[in-house]
Chain A
């Protein structure tokens, strides 16, 4: 019962329409607006027609409904089983959350049922009380748009304090780390949560942040792939999470262009190198030179 209409955008839309109709009659415009908000691009016409033709006998021609009260559909067994599985996840302790009344529910999976085999080992310490406390302060500050004073310890052990406006918490499953994306302070636009010593609400004035938001600097790299050792499938899937464009060339090769954040250039370089001769960077020349420089060093080291 996974792919089921009760989770569908159409059911959600119709539930909203019924909710409106219980309060006051709905017209075609309201139906279309609701469908546009909750469903897909072709849904407004389909939903309006089904209601108008009384194929779905839920809304009367005058826009009222014979339904008396709208109460939310109970959480399903599938959803409870997933929640139970989440309650067993090691990261759940970051959230101040109670999973009462799920004692009888079988989890959909446990941490013993799956293994992330290439996650890095130096992930954040989610058990640490100070980490949990900082995480919750930051999460609340993001929602409330409260500026924060954050003290971090750098690699050399020196402490620095920054006043920032917290924007988002970015999680990487590969790194198993959270990073705080901020504005209002160009020297601390990304802060690793694992490095935070303390954090508290900023007291006093905070500058207008609209002018201090650090724009993401984007770069592109273009590479050609050979159709050997399943390279097209491996490479395209590997880089699938980027904004990208792929095309097949006449010579049996493939061309892939991805857009990445400038700050991730070294990571991208390493990821491309890991595919060896199956991938050749063609543009831009500066990126080609980065690879050439690494290969020159390699030649010196292992000749």
Chain B
């Protein structure tokens, strides 16, 4: 089959989109998971959807393709376009629009045989070489549309009738413009926005991580398993490309608006532990069975949450880590105290005096806090970790930074 810009499975472009958007570091030769032909085709497809955001730079290893987007200047995530490229057969599109035309009035009921007859006699007969769809193909399509929710069926006696579903009139484009960018699975909002011809958008977004767009289907499936309280088999891919199969009970999605990552907190019955799995590492989800203790496991996670800084639920030691540090600020720098209050995810902030405040927390993994603590560099007057390895790491990092920037002792 020749090249087409449409694809059957989104997974085909998911990895390439991420590579081009987040990294943009590899040349054609360095994409070695699949064939060079596959690279060429997927690059061509992505260019077809997103050419205005794509560029390349020449390196010794070849041409590195990248996608660069200043998301603050966008009203809509351009990567959503890639979710609108699902392939179909000639029969699929022909039947879709003809059936939609036959079932145009929700109050009119049709049997399968009357639909098949109309397709032949009122639509396809107009063409020189009419296509032929048998009743089994049409029945399959009707069932598919019923599952999608655009038609309904009802039995009268022994006969099954089909009719169009009532439309749900939803016209608030402001709401769709906002939540299609600021809510999980926002691409569904984008599908809804596509229904409107005119759309004057009033919103832009700061700190807007759109890399998550590539994981929309996985996230949707995760929500579905959480909703159905199902134990689930997930397959993840490690950095080295190794596929790992795990059986877990998804409990809650954890989203970071500062790192661009999304996780699922899961219970692993085999280890009797709640841990995290990165959603962008998941390649497949297979629901297994409904579990009886989902609510209790979620309650267990709720009890753990005051001690989770990011997503880690274990420290190097068996006990929780304690972290304590003091920051100083001038009279006109009270916003530093406010920063502690608004940015802390757990723990307490104690105002020591007019110009200093102390933060204290008990967490599963103090290592996760280093990034945040380092953002107070220049103000830290005292710091202490119960895990001495983490403390040594923090102090060693500072020493390295002094050397890196030529700050003499």
| A residues with CB within 8 A of B | 1-12, 14-15, 18, 40-43, 46, 50, 54-58, 60-61, 66-80, 82-83, 85-86, 89, 91-92, 95, 97, 101-102, 106, 108-109, 112-122, 139, 142-143, 168-175, 179, 181, 232-234, 236-238, 240-248, 250, 254, 259, 261, 270-271, 273-277, 280, 288, 291-299, 301-303
Contact = CB atoms under 8 A, between A and B. Distances in A.
Contacts of B66: 245-246
Given A73-B100, A120-B343, A245-B68, A67 B123 contact: yes
B59 A79 contact: no
Given A7-B194, A122-B338, A241-B209, A254 B374 contact: no
B258 interface: yes
A41 B96 contact: no
B191 A7 contact: yes
Contact of A41 (B47, B217, B259): B47
Interface in B379-409: 379-383, 397-398, 400-402, 404-407, 409
A27 to B, nearest CB: 18
Contact of A301 (B49, B164, B210, B380): B380
A276 B207 contact: no
B116 interface: no
Given A40-B81, A79-B188, A241-B72, A116 B257 contact: yes
A112 B96 CA distance: 37
Across the A-B interface, give the 8 residue pairs with the lowest CB-CB distance, nearest first: A77-B149, A294-B378, A277-B400, A297-B378, A5-B88, A82-B188, A114-B253, A243-B70
Contact of A4 (B86, B100, B178): B86
B131 A57 contact: yes
A237 B25 CA distance: 13
A117 B255 contact: yes
A302 B382 contact: yes
Nearest to A166: B202
A139 B86 contact: no
A277 B405 CA distance: 10
B381 A240 contact: no
B328 interface: yes
Interface stretch (B32-40, B220-228, B240-248, B358-366): B220-228
Interface of B: 4-6, 9-10, 21-25, 47-49, 51, 57, 59-61, 64, 66, 68-72, 81, 83-88, 90, 92-94, 96-98, 100-101, 104, 122-124, 126-131, 147-150, 164-168, 170, 172, 174-175, 178-179, 182-185, 188-189, 191-192, 194-195, 200, 202-211, 216-217, 220, 223-224, 226-227, 252-261, 305, 308, 310-311, 328, 338, 341-345, 370-372, 374-375, 377-383, 397-398, 400-402, 404-407, 409
Nearest to A98: B172
A10 B88 contact: yes
B405 A66 contact: no
B205 A172 contact: yes
Contacts of B226: 109, 113
A102 B149 CA distance: 13
B5 to A, nearest CB: 5
21 contacts: A2-B220, A7-B191, A9-B85, A40-B81, A50-B90, A57-B127, A66-B123, A66-B126, A70-B101, A95-B178, A118-B310, A121-B341, A168-B202, A170-B204, A173-B205, A174-B206, A240-B211, A250-B60, A271-B375, A274-B372, A280-B405
Most buried by B among A2, A6, A106, A296: A2
B260 A237 contact: yes
A247 B269 CA distance: 43
User: Is the contact region of chain B dominated by helix, strand, or loop, or is it mixed?
Assistant: mixed
Nearest to A302: B380
B255 A3 contact: no
Given A238-B259, A274-B371, A294-B377, A3 B175 contact: no
Contact of A171 (B184, B191, B203, B261): B203
Contacts of A259: 70
Contact of B57 (A55, A121, A247, A261): A247
B211 A237 contact: yes
Nearest to B211: A240
Given A74-B168, A173-B208, 5 more contacts: A41-B51, A57-B123, A74-B167, A85-B183, A237-B259
B129 to A, nearest CB: 7
B191 A79 contact: yes
A296 B310 CA distance: 30
